[in-house]
Amino acid sequence: MATIGLDSIYYSIITDGESGETYATPVKLAKATKADLSVEFSEGTLYADDALCEAVKEFKSAKLTLGVDDLSAAAASALTGATIDQNKVLVHNAEDSAPYVAIGFRAKKSNGNYRYYWLYRGKFGIPSDSLETKGDSIKFAEKSIEGTFMRREKAGDDGSHAWKAQVDADDTGVQTSTISGWFTSVYEPDFTA
């Protein structure tokens, strides 16, 4: 079913350990205006006996561009590694190192239900600004921030390394607790019987 909305963008800072990622409690990022997700694949083909006999397409990485109404200094600092000085000024340094984060959000579907997402491991660059002088009409300027996402370090119960989780609230068999707790912690895949 088609989506007609977007809201509730959260981020969670990742701490890496010997057993993989540990996710901090998710924090609301900002009001959402857009989320563009594009996926890159590694591909390979094998030709034999004058014909294609095998093709492989594997996940490589994903680019997420988020549009938000504004980005607080605290959120920009958390996502990009920039610092906030004693005067509460956000300072981007050449030596900044962005932390790994997980990003969650939801999209409203045309039937009124929601589709929920978590992207498990990514890094963001410095947010872009598009500013314009005020003319005859008012135009809003929004913030845009782009991140590159990859697979998790931590293997799931089935031995695989997830990069994204997605669920529709109205899918058959989806637990109410899965939806109600979606933004209270980063969703952990469960492949146990």
Instruction: Give the pLDDT score at 127.
Output: 82
**This prediction's pTM:** 0.87
Please give the DSSP secondary-structure letter assigned to residue 75: H
User: 65 and 145 in contact (C-beta within 8 Å)?
Assistant: yes
Q: What is the CA radius of gyration of the chain?
A: 19
Tell me how far apart the alpha carbons of residues 78 and 30 are, in angstroms, rounded to a whole number. Answer: 13
Q: For the beta carbon of residue 38, count every other beta carbon within 10 angstroms.
A: 9
Does position 2 have pLDDT exceeding 90, yes or no?
A: no
| Nearest-angstrom CA–CA distance, 134 and 143 | 17
Q: Which among 97, 88, 85 has a CA at the least distance from the CA of 125? A: 97
In sequence order, what E strands does 69-182 have? 83-84, 90-91, 101-108, 114-124, 128-129, 143-150, 164-168
Mean per-residue pLDDT of the chain: 90
- Helices (H), strands (E): how many in the chain? 2, 12
pLDDT score at 88: 94
> What is the tens place of the pLDDT at every residue in 90-132?
999 999 999 999 999 999 999 999 999 999 999 999 887 777 7
Kindly state the average pLDDT of the residues 17-38.
90
What is the mean predicted confidence (pLDDT) over 75-81? 93
Q: Which residues pair with 180 in a beta bridge?
A: none
At 190 the pLDDT is: 84
Q: Give the residue from 14, 66, 49, 65 showing the smallest Cα distance to 185.
A: 14
**Which of 14, 99, 31 minimizes the C-alpha distance to 71?**
31
Does residue 193 have a pLDDT over 70? Answer: no
pLDDT in tens, 130-166: 777 877 877 777 788 999 999 999 888 888 899 999 9
